[in-house]
Every structure is written in structure tokens, then in C-alpha cells.
A and B are shown apart, each in its own frame.
Chain A
Amino acid sequence: MRQGLRRALSVLAVFGCLPPGGSIHAGPLPFAVELFVPPVIADSQAPVVCTVTYLIADTANNDLFAARMRIAGTEADTAVNNYLPCPAVLPFRVATQALGVCASRGDLKSCLFADMGRGFDRESGIGNTSEAASRCSSDAFSDIAAACWTSGKLSVCDVACGHSPEEALARAQDRCQEKQQRSCPVTATVPVSGP
């Protein structure tokens, strides 16, 4: 009797009829095992980290660079309207690094902050530019813009921030016209936080 039961169990095991708990599959597993890989999900509700964007001009060929600096927050930071705060004071090394974004792709001597003073067409040194006025922070503005006039082969520009591309452009043109005492028809804008 006991031997008969053992034989019956063996037959059931061979044909895979044993209840769960035993080894069911005798053949080798296929190589194309599709392991479950969770998709990368961006948290669309996460607060936007601080980005400070500088506009840097390469006066050798009139290129404008948007040098974006993302600054990590602290655990104590609280988002306002879903934007994490940016530091109130930025060390100059951040600005230097922004210039470096341009210099590494051209020539250090020709890379300047894009907000230029009156008379920049005659004195085109970095001393005639404004670091603070060439940047916008994501906790305060969504867009940064430049407005320029052309002096011979040189673009003379000024920079402004806005809550929309249109506002940033209008403010940049106002600033340029006020500072340069000229109309500034050449314009450019990008989002502060980037795509």
C-alpha cells in the first residue's frame, strides 16, 4: 500500500500535477528572461530646484550663451509656488564658472557678462559689464532675455528677467534703450530653468 502511494506520487510529479510547492518545470529556462525593470518616472509634482541662468556674450563672434547653474537645496528649504529658493548671495566663483562655459568654447578674453554698460562699444572690457544684471533666478523669474544694438560688428546688449518670454524681452529692450540711449532691435530669450 505504502509502495503504491509512493509510485502514484512519483507519476504525478513527473507529469507536473503536484500542487504548488514542488518543482514544476523540468526543462531549462529560456535565456530571454524578461526581468521586470521599473520605468524611470519623473516626479512631476517635485519642486523645481534652483537654477541661476547667466547670459554670457562672446564678443569675438557675437554668440550669446545661457550658462545654467543648478544649486542644490537643503532639507530645510521650502518651495514657494513649487520653486525651491535660490541663495540670496552667489559667490563670484559661480559667475566665473559661467564665464568659463563661454571661454572653454571660444576665448576667455572675449567672454563677458551680457549686460553691458553705456559706451561698451568704445570700452568693451568686462569692467563695463554687470554680473548681477546678467543673471536670473528660477525662484523669481521664468525667462531671461537680451536686447542688443549693433555697433559696427559688435553687438551691445542688456539683459532682463521676466515671468514670460514676452515680458523678459520687453524689459530687456526697455533696459537696453534706457542704458544705451538707442533702440535695441536684436533680441533673444530662453527659459531660466531650461527645457
Chain B
Amino acid sequence: MGPRRTALLLMLATGQACAQPAAVVPPVAPAGSDAPAVMRILVPPPLQWDNAMLTSRPALQQTASDFANLTGGLAFGMSAPSVNALLPNPYPGLGWNGLSLANEYPGEVRYFGIPISAAGTLRMGLTACAGGGSYIVFLFSDRGLFRLSYRLIADKSCPDTNPAAREIFERYVPIGQTVALSVRYRSGKTEVVDVTDSAAGYLIPPRWRQGIN
């Protein structure tokens, strides 16, 4: 195991202590001034209502292919080595037993992470600053990959990672919730975007909570 990977896994491990959802924190806004600025509007897929407006359902039929098209071939259910093999710089010899345990989940959940700067397609064409220590975590149950978790940490070079989190979130929101559940929240100084397999059941609710680093 290389020193870079060791450091990253250690960093991830320190933040896995708590299982409760993150507290709602004060909102983060675009730069406050009278200068004109354009906000992005997030566009989830439409809902189709019947004429009496009693029931609704997703108006679009989306599948795992839509998700794979967005993520460069990633699919929920993939094994850790398969996910690793899709990355621009795969870890050599990565396997299930070498992964750390994610303790905030019930049952056996394991994970590995990569710096967001080395995430290739999964960077989602980010243009806003993301912070040098930001990373993506891949979480696996015994049924394979069930969650991608973007963790964007502000630092001196990037004091606000909210715009970056919004950019990433914006790319996943059009994927319907029958395919992937995308959620955005903040934990401590970290902006989090979780993208979860909608079939993950009891693994869906837990949110990451930043540990005391």
C-alpha cells in the first residue's frame, strides 16, 4: 500500500465515527454583492400526473444506462476491483479484504477513496474550485457498489466549496430517483454530495458526518 493511499484511507477513517444525519447548518450563498450573477437552476426529471391529479409517477423512463453514461461506465452493483479498474489511476491489487470498514452503516460496508483531482469523468467537468483535500468515496456492500460520496473540503485556496458541490449535484439531479438518489448536505466544513443506488434499502438513510479531525 503506497503512502498516498495510506494517508487517504487514514483521512477517511477518521471521519467515519458517527451514524446520525448531519445537522442543518446555516445556508451558504453566492458571493454577496450587488453585482449581477446568474444562478443555476437544478432540473430533476418531471413527474407525470393523471388528469384528476391524484397520483404521480416519473414522466421519463430512465435506466442504469443513463447513470453509466454520466459516470463513464460506473454502475451500482459493481465490485470494488471493477470500479477501481475504471479509474484513471487504479490502485494496484485492490480487493474486498483490503478495504476499510465504514462504521456508520449497519452490516458490513467497505470503502475506498480517490482524490477528486484524479477522478477523471467522475469530476463531472468541475469548473469551480474544489479544495485540495477533496475526495470521492466508493462504498460497497456484499452486493457491490451502492454509493458514491463526494466530499468537498474548503481550504485556503478554496474557501467555499458550495459552488463545486452544486456543480456536481447539478449533473446527478436529472437522473431520476428510480435509478439513483442524489442528496446534498453539509457536514462541518465539508460539502457532501451522495449518489446512492435506489435499491440499496436500509443503506440509503445514513449520512456521513465529519469527525473531529
Interface, chain A (partner B; CB < 8 A) = 51, 55, 58-74, 87, 90-91, 93-94, 97, 101, 104-107, 109-110, 146, 148, 150-155, 183, 185-190, 194
Contact for B53 among A90, A148, A188, CB less than 8 A: A90
12 intermolecular pairs with C-beta atoms under 8 Å apart: A62-B28, A62-B162, A72-B48, A97-B56, A107-B185, A110-B27, A153-B26, A154-B29, A185-B33, A187-B36, A188-B40, A189-B41
B51 close to A63 (CB less than 8 A): no
Interface assignment of B108: CB less than 8 Å from any CB of chain A: no
Given A61-B28, A107-B24, A155-B39, 10 more contacts at CB 8 Å? A64-B39, A64-B41, A66-B41, A87-B53, A97-B47, A104-B181, A150-B30, A152-B29, A187-B37, A187-B38
Q: Is the CB of A101 within 8 A of B185?
A: no
Is there contact, CB below 8 Å, between A65 and B46? Answer: no
Residues of A within 8 A of B29 (CB): 62, 150, 152-155
* Contact, CB under 8 Å: A70 / B46: yes
A85 to chain B, nearest CB (A): 11
Judging by beta carbons under 8 Å apart, are A106 and B46 in contact?
A: no
Contact assessment for A71 and B51 in the assembled complex, using a CB-CB cutoff below 8 Å: yes
Question: Is B183 located at the chain interface by the 8 A CB criterion?
Answer: yes
Q: Are A94 and B53 in contact (CB under 8 A)?
A: yes
Q: Which of B12-20, B121-129, B165-173 contacts A (4 or more CB under 8 A)?
A: B165-173
Number of B residues contacting the other chain (C-beta, 8 Å)?
Answer: 44
Nearest CB on A from B209, distance (A): 14
Task: Give CA–CA (A55, B39) in the complex, Å.
Answer: 13
C-alpha gap A6/B191 in the complex (Å): 88
When the two chains form their complex, are residues B24 and A109 in contact, meaning their CB atoms are under 8 A apart? yes
Specify which chain B residues have a CB less than 8 angstroms from the CB of A58 in the assembled complex.
184
B47/A61 in contact, CB under 8 A: no
B177 close to chain A: CB less than 8 A: yes
- Contacting residue for B27 out of A55, A61, A64, A69, CB 8 A: A61
Contacting residues, chain B, for A105 (C-beta < 8 A): 44, 169, 173, 181-184
Q: Closest A-chain residue to B172, C-beta based? A: A105
Bound: A60/B165 CA distance, A: 13
Chain A residues with CB below 8 A from B43, complex form: 65-66, 68, 190, 194
B43–chain A nearest beta-carbon distance, Å: 5
State whether A155 touches B30 (Cβ < 8 A): yes
How far does the Cβ of B68 sit from chain A's closest Cβ, in whole Å? Answer: 21
A59 to B51, CA, bound (A): 32
Q: Which 10 A-B pairs have the closest CB atoms?
A: A68-B46, A150-B32, A188-B39, A153-B29, A185-B36, A72-B51, A71-B49, A186-B37, A188-B41, A64-B41
Cα distance A188–B170 in the bound complex, in angstroms: 14
Cα of A105 to Cα of B30 in the assembled complex, Å? 20
Assuming A61-B166, A106-B184, is B47 touching A70 (CB within 8 A)? yes
Q: Which residues of A contact B46 (CB under 8 A)?
A: 51, 68-70, 194
